[in-house]
Amino acid sequence: MTLLDFARGPAIHWSLIIMATGTIWRLLGVLVLTRGADLSRPRDAFGNFKGYRTVFSRAWPSGEFTTATRYQTAMAYVFHLATLVVVIGIVPHIEFITRLTGASWPGLPNAAGVGAGVLALASLFALIARRVSKPAVYCSTWGDYLSWVLMAAPLVTGLMAFAHLGPRYETMLAIHILSAALLFAWFPFGKLMHAFWFVFSRAQSGVAYAHKGVRI
């Protein structure tokens, strides 16, 4: 079995199994817990429902914090969008998803994919540079750095595989797939789970504050 066969076969398969199991485990392990009840009378009868808009409105910082959060907001947006483009725009990735789900859609030209990959990587470096340079603000844990490394690795190896840098293409491709497998396997255990939590977390606060007539 070559490295590529291992990466494309058991490695990615098991990583997906771990990701599926772990993600659902963690989500249900939290969401099935008891819900506290706020018995106090809401400020207006249907006001609580307005709280759900926080799920969307919190996608952008309020005017009060625009300046303070500008760098991070910009970089985080570039990173998330560029990564999304990389994940769903590059043809080999679409092929991978097609094999897994059956869904298929047209891909982007390679130049666009590479551009997005470079942007994603650059923004990731911009974010880690800030994290490292301001330890007082970030209170980083080892999990934060691990998440960063595991996120950066597929971007670096993917770009290297595309550019045919380093080892032979199929070896680089294997390393790229292995790095993605590591990312998948780590996903349920670290802060990457915010991909799911943000919905619940924002909704809860939005509703709790809307209950009191406050729009957050």
Of 78, 79, 82, 202, the one binding other proteins (CB under 8 A) is 202
**Are 187 and 20 a contacting pair, CB within 8 Å?**
no
User: How would DSSP label each residue in 142-200?
Assistant: HHHHHHHHHHHHHHHHHHHHHHT-SS-HHHHHHHHHHHHHHHHHHGGGSGGGHHHHHHH
- Number of helices (H), then strands (E), in the chain: 11, 0
**Region binding other proteins by CB under 8 A among candidate stretches 80-88, 115-123, 128-136, 148-156:** 128-136
**Region binding other proteins by CB under 8 A among candidate stretches 78-86, 115-123, 148-156, 201-209:** 201-209
Nearest-angstrom CA–CA distance, 204 and 207: 5
Of 46, 103, 133, 136, the one binding other proteins (CB under 8 A) is 136
Q: C-beta of 91: minimal distance to other proteins in Å?
A: 6
Looking at residue 135, the DSSP 8-state letter turns out to be H
Sole residue written with tokens 């709280």: 51
**Are 181 and 157 a contacting pair, CB within 8 Å?**
no
Choice between 7 and 121, CB closer to other proteins: 7
Q: C-beta of 172: minimal distance to other proteins in Å?
A: 10
Nearest-angstrom CA–CA distance, 69 and 73: 6
How many residues bind other proteins, per CB under 8 A?
97
Site for other proteins in 49-108 (CB under 8 A): 54, 58, 61-62, 64-65, 68-69, 72, 76, 91-93, 95-96, 98-101, 106-108
Nearest-angstrom CA–CA distance, 139 and 162: 36
Choice between 113 and 156, CB closer to other proteins: 113
Site for other proteins in 1-20 (CB under 8 A): 2, 4-5, 8-10, 12-13, 16-18, 20
Site for other proteins in 137-176 (CB under 8 A): 137-141, 144, 164, 168-170, 173
